[in-house]
Amino acid sequence: MKRLIVGIDIGGTGTKLGLVDSLGEVIIEEKISTTGEHTFAEFITTLSKIVKQWLLAYPDYEIAGVGVGAPGGNFYTGCITDASNLPWKGSLPLVELLTAELNVPVVLSNDANAATMGEMIFGAAKGMKDFVMITLGTGLGSGIVTGGRLLIGAESLAAELGHVLIKGKGGGRACKCGRKGCLETYVSATGIKRTYLHLLASQGEQSRLSAVPFDQLEAKDIAQAALDGDEIAKKAFVTTGKILGRQLANMVSIVNPEAVFLFGGLASAGDLIFEPTKKYMDANMLNIYKAEVKILPSQLEGANAAIVGAASLVYQYEQDSKEVLA
Amino acid sequence: MKRLIVGIDIGGTGTKLGLVDSLGEVIIEEKISTTGEHTFAEFITTLSKIVKQWLLAYPDYEIAGVGVGAPGGNFYTGCITDASNLPWKGSLPLVELLTAELNVPVVLSNDANAATMGEMIFGAAKGMKDFVMITLGTGLGSGIVTGGRLLIGAESLAAELGHVLIKGKGGGRACKCGRKGCLETYVSATGIKRTYLHLLASQGEQSRLSAVPFDQLEAKDIAQAALDGDEIAKKAFVTTGKILGRQLANMVSIVNPEAVFLFGGLASAGDLIFEPTKKYMDANMLNIYKAEVKILPSQLEGANAAIVGAASLVYQYEQDSKEVLA
């Protein structure tokens, strides 16, 4: 019997789900509104109905499990906890409710960990045992694989690289977390906008983006301006890569990865972000690391990346189960 | 048959070895000079002879393996590589030579990883699956356990926390590694001496240690002066704990440990170092970490800690073997 895994990516507005085969292909998918249901239990019922219909439509397949990526998703408790951008508050028992409906193993983690497992099982990190994934969106998420397994931490809260403080003596940009100087206030779609504005303010040079209101400015506009030769936009990318590269040199000292993957919107700026990041990572790296640490684009980009990543979490569950039985 | 493990701690001047029982007690031990032999092969022969004599003296015991902690010890290759404070250069095939002599599993790692495994198997981290060990000596070493296993890294060079760069824009104190601003130039026995000197220079206050030549000053003198009420010595400890606490807050964001252990000379200053470290770790920690992260003294302190730590590396080997067979 062929194996399929259900991948579910829960986001603030939309939730995507799909059936993923053993090659990482999504054979059927659907998208529902995250905010369309009144209660979390109703939301789970809606998801379950879709999956049950798929099971009827694919009788020759066995469902090996369900992997779910969600903000605040806790690997150990199976609950989504205090996700500020979801419509439900408190601790949401996702694994308990979905298991009761579908009667297969359900694995929950956050979206950055889902992307990380996706890269290892189906993407460019296939065969790697030690790597770091950086997801660049509105904020900066990350996932770490060491010795072939996801670094989860004592409370399922590891790999919050976006909230590493990068200023030696405190200070730095205000972060939504309430502190100052977090890496994601510099390195993210929002961070590069702030850097661009800072450069515009301090350098007084002309920039073709000066006419765009700040709340309409997007990271991709800065990328396009940089490609077109705008000096301030180019400097914004160099500054961003310099800060990221320096922090990646520190990450190398802690987890000694074979490669670092960049995923998400800002990563699609290509050389604009990869070149300064690599340059400053190498320049700041401790000399004992002789093997080159590669900085690579994720190969999970695309509409289905989140579904495939979520489905991949089931592989971590299967690895753990095998060891418990050993 | 009762099980014993051989623990060997190779240092720049002396090498300690002992037989460790399943409770972590050293039942016999010996110390030899590291520099007393001409070649590395002769050194290994001397070690092996001692172990073979022990085997004859304890015929009722089975030797489960040999664990070796050494500067530059590589877990994967089994070689000691470019250890600048050992008398032999290049890549030294320790595991190959010792296995040929003793015909039991031999596991090699660096001394900080040995201390880390020792804490998990026989010390205060027993039962913990996620913790960080900080060894404070001339430099700052560290070891990380995640999900119950040592974080080793792609080239067996993970957990070099002493070489994390702590200054946002570069600069900082010169480090032996050739870079500037490494954590260990601030947080270590040497680091606190530099901080003390800096405070003495910049504040112009009286200190009872002003009469001591810098190259004769030791961290424990600063500790004693602080206990006696010397203001500059007290400030040196607060500054050291502030820098360490802040970096531990960053480590929490990356590995989400249950506890951080402090080991070595500076850690024996007790509250002088533990209080400011805990205070500034808590003050800088991301708010999602609700469970308290404990900062605890190692319980492996004492003359035998290095031997017990080295022996404990065999447990990591045994865990790995079990999984390969699974």
- Give residue-wise pLDDT tens across range B21-55: 999 999 999 999 998 878 999 999 999 999 999 98
Q: Is residue B191 domain-resident?
A: yes
**Separation in Å, CA of B226 to nearest CA in chain A:** 24
Using the Cβ of A83 and the Cβ atoms of chain B, whether some distance falls under 8 Å is answered with: no
Cβ within 8 Å, pair A290-B146: no
Q: Is the pLDDT of residue B325 over 60?
A: no
Q: Is residue B122 domain-resident?
A: no
Q: Is residue A32 domain-resident?
A: yes
Chains A–B, number of C-beta pairs less than 8 Å apart: 140
Q: Is the pLDDT of residue A1 over 80?
A: no
Q: Which of B157, B159, B290 sits opposite A288 (nearest CB)?
A: B157
What φ, ψ does residue B79 adopt, rounded to 5°?
A: -110, 150
Q: Which of B151, B163, B166 sits opposite A168 (nearest CB)?
A: B166
Residue-by-residue DSSP string for A203-269: H----TTTTS-GGG--HHHHHHHHHTT-HHHHHHHHHHHHHHHHHHHHHHHHH--SEEEEESGGGGG
Spatial CA neighbour of A318 closest among A1, A9, A22: A22
Same domain, A49 and A79: yes
**Separation in Å, CA of A311 to nearest CA in chain B:** 21
**Separation in Å, CA of B179 to nearest CA in chain A:** 8
What φ, ψ does residue B277 adopt, rounded to 5°?
A: -65, -50
Identify the pLDDT of residue A316.
82
Q: Is residue A155 domain-resident?
A: yes
Q: Is residue B196 domain-resident?
A: yes
Identify the pLDDT of residue A324.
59
- Tens-digit pLDDT profile for residues A265-295: 899 999 999 999 999 999 999 999 977 899 9
Same domain, B105 and B254: no
Same domain, B150 and B179: yes
Same domain, A151 and A111: no
Same domain, B149 and B229: yes
Using the Cβ of B325 and the Cβ atoms of chain A, whether some distance falls under 8 Å is answered with: yes
Please enumerate in sequence order all residues whose Cβ is within 8 A of that of A70, keeping only pairs 6 or more positions apart, or say none.
A9, A10, A80, A83, A86, A94, A108, A110, A111
Same domain, B99 and B213: no
Q: Which helix (H) or strand (E) holds A80?
A: strand A80-81
Q: Is residue B62 domain-resident?
A: yes
What percent of chain B is predicted at pLDDT more than 70? Answer: 99
Identify the pLDDT of residue A318.
81
**Separation in Å, CA of B121 to nearest CA in chain A:** 18
Q: Is residue B154 domain-resident?
A: yes
**Separation in Å, CA of A223 to nearest CA in chain B:** 24
Q: Which residues of B touch A147 (CB under 8 A)?
A: 149, 151-152
Lowest mean pLDDT segment, chosen from A30-39, B3-12, B101-110 = A30-39
Q: Is the pLDDT of residue B214 over 90?
A: no
Number of domains in chain B: 2
Same domain, B180 and B195: yes
d(C-alpha B241, C-alpha B245), whole Å: 6
Spatial CA neighbour of A19 closest among A46, A71, A57, A73: A57
Same domain, A99 and A223: no
Q: Is residue A177 domain-resident?
A: yes
Q: Which residue range is the domain that position A216 belongs to? A: 130-297
Q: Which of A157, A250, A254 sits opposite B288 (nearest CB)?
A: A157
Which 8-state DSSP code applies to residue B301? Answer: -
**Separation in Å, CA of A59 to nearest CA in chain B:** 32
**Separation in Å, CA of A147 to nearest CA in chain B:** 7
Cβ within 8 Å, pair B146-A153: yes
Same domain, A272 and A289: yes
Confidence of residue A231 (pLDDT cuts 50, 70, 90): very high
Q: Which residues of A touch B178 (CB under 8 A)?
A: 287
Cβ within 8 Å, pair A164-B254: yes
Same domain, A186 and A251: yes
Is residue A42 classed as helix, strand or coil in its secondary structure? Answer: helix
Cβ within 8 Å, pair B129-A287: no
Identify the pLDDT of residue B38.
81
Q: Is the pLDDT of residue A326 over 70?
A: no
Q: Which residues of B touch A146 (CB under 8 A)?
A: 146, 151-153, 158
Which 8-state DSSP code applies to residue B234? Answer: H
Identify the pLDDT of residue A212.
85
Using the Cβ of A282 and the Cβ atoms of chain B, whether some distance falls under 8 Å is answered with: no
Q: Is the pLDDT of residue B321 over 90?
A: no
- Mean of per-residue pLDDT scores for chain B: 93
Nearest CA in chain B to A287: B177
Cβ within 8 Å, pair A257-B178: no
Q: What is the mean pLDDT of residues B145-173?
A: 94
List the CATH number of the domain containing B170: 3.30.420.40
Same domain, B246 and B187: yes
Identify the pLDDT of residue A325.
55
Q: Is the pLDDT of residue B326 over 60?
A: no
Nearest CA in chain A to B325: A326
Same domain, B257 and B180: yes
- Tens-digit pLDDT profile for residues B235-277: 999 999 999 999 999 999 999 999 999 999 899 999 999 999 9
CA–CA distances in Å: residue B160 to residues A86, A183, A256, B289 = 38, 20, 9, 24
Identify the pLDDT of residue B324.
58
Q: Which residues of A touch B292 (CB under 8 A)?
A: none
Q: Which residues of B touch A172 (CB under 8 A)?
A: 168
Confidence of residue A311 (pLDDT cuts 50, 70, 90): very high
Q: What is the mean pLDDT of residues B53-63?
A: 90
Please state the separation of Cα A108 from the chain's center in Å: 14
Which 8-state DSSP code applies to residue A30? Answer: E
